[in-house]
Structure 1
Amino acid sequence: MAAPDDSPKGPERRVWAGTTLEERRAERRRNLVDTALSLIGGEGCTAVTVRSVCRKAGLTDRYFYENFDGRDDLVVTTFNEVVGEALALLRDSISRLPDDSLETRARTIVNAFLSFAIDDPRKGRLLLVEPLAEKALTGVGVTFGPIITKLMRAQFPAGPDRPSRTSRAMTALGLTGSLGALFSAWLGGTLHVTRDELTDHCVILILNSYAPRRPASPLLIDGPIRSPID
């Protein structure tokens, strides 16, 4: 005797034009998130409203509220998706490292994140710029920093000749803020250096922060100081 068919029989499994209601709903949700990201990339989160998103996506507000409680829910959902993509890329890049040298790890992290932000500037803006101005991201935007901080701590473990766990935790937190500020300024066009210069500087920051303890040396400045910042 054939086994009973437990697959859903309700309207969500009803096929129309080759797709189910569930599939069409997922398609509309994807369309709304992609549209929000496009608007954010162009004008920032202030450009995202229920009306602007529906108009650009070619959907009615009925379908908007089918997926989201409101405008803020869509902004937060879009932000969380981009965070997930960035973390997946960073973890994948780290997992492919050919060796365990500090410099290789540092350069991999910096290059992976810069590539992510440059390949799709909309995502770079949403991660680094919008949390500073968008109220909907006030409580959510700050979560990205601690996640990156934890990731960095895991890549630069302690040792007998390295800073203590507490010191490393504070260093990781400070570095996350410093790197974020550098990335934001560079992507925003107020830091006038090449990508290679930015990468090298970020790597030096990481290496100096996690290098084994050594006697402090005086700061040496060779040549005139030129500010690359507007």
Structure 2
Amino acid sequence: MNLRAPARTWGGRTTEERRAERRARLIDAALEIWLDSGWAAVTMRGVCTRAALNDRYFYEHFADRDELLVAAWDDVNTEVLADLGALVAERIADPPLEIVRAAIALVVQQQSTGRARILFADHAGSAVLEERRKVALIDATDLLVATSRPYLRADIDETEFRMSALFGIGGFIELLTAWRTGAMDIDGTRIADQVGALTTLLGAQYLAPNITSTE
């Protein structure tokens, strides 16, 4: 009979719990620096200093800075998707356009107050982040198409709808970027209202007539 040795603990935490805590501290430190000064300011030394951890703990979790940047980006992406998933679950009985408008408002709010603005910030110069951003845009389009399918008119061209969805999501991201960088003198409420209105126009084109109302 094989008996598994009990996990050793230090200060009431197991080795794996302490490792997970150190990893979380490194990611949090990277995100703080990223929000303050941009992704290019995230360095191994700077992150370790802010996390109050020795360099060796960095390499316990990450092979290099790129791997840390991807982990930090993924961490934020998971948070945003979880928030959106919770919103949809809470409002699942609402008309689809109302759910989309609520999701738009939530993303705008996250961009103004939290780490979510990292997802679609300027990643020029980082191949790994540019790839993450590209994949996220396609994933968001696929998700919108898949979740919309039960509500679409039977005769639509799905490729056309997919192009429109990609165009709409990409335009939404560019509006958020223009707002964040000051390229346009707008506020979050104006963005949410404008994108919501455009979504309603697209809904009239693609959704079945009995479910296009947002009343």
Band the TM-score falls in, shorter-chain normalisation = 0.7 to 0.9
- The one of 74, 79, 84 equivalent to 2:78 is 84
The answer as to 2:141 corresponding to 1:149 is yes
- The one of 174, 182, 190 equivalent to 1:189 is 182
The answer as to 2:28 corresponding to 1:16 is no
Flag the structure with higher helix content: 2
Partner of 1:216: none
| CA deviation map 1:94-143 (0-9, x unaligned) | 222264434312211201211222231x331x111133443331222211
Report matched runs for 1:13-52 at 5 Å. Answer: 13-52=7-46
Structure ID, larger Rg? 1
CA distance in 2: counterparts of 1:212 and 1:72, whole angstroms = 42
The answer as to 2:68 corresponding to 1:94 is no
Q: Could you tell me the TM-score, scaled by structure 1's length?
A: 0.81
Change (3 A) 1:133 1:188: farther
| CA deviation map 1:5-47 (0-9, x unaligned) | 43x45xxx32222222221111110100000000000001111
What displacement does 1:188 show? 2.3
Change (3 A) 1:133 1:183: farther
Where do 5+ consecutive residues of structure 1 fail to align?
214-230
What amino acid sits opposite 1:185 in the alignment?
Answer: A
Q: Secondary structure at the match of 1:130?
A: coil
The answer as to 2:119 corresponding to 1:140 is no
* Percent of aligned pairs with the same amino acid: 30
User: Whose relative contact order is higher, 1 or 2, with alpha carbons under 8 Å and at least 6 apart?
Assistant: 2
Report matched runs for 1:72-221 at 5 Å. Answer: 72-97=66-91, 99-120=93-114, 122-124=115-117, 126-157=118-149, 158-160=152-154, 163-212=156-205
Q: Could you tell me the TM-score, scaled by structure 2's length?
A: 0.86
CA contact (8 A) 1:105 1:155 kept: no
User: Pairwise CA RMSD of aligned residues?
Assistant: 2.0
CA distance in 2: counterparts of 1:212 and 1:23, whole angstroms = 51
Partner of 1:53: 47
CA distance in 1: counterparts of 2:22 and 2:41, whole angstroms = 20
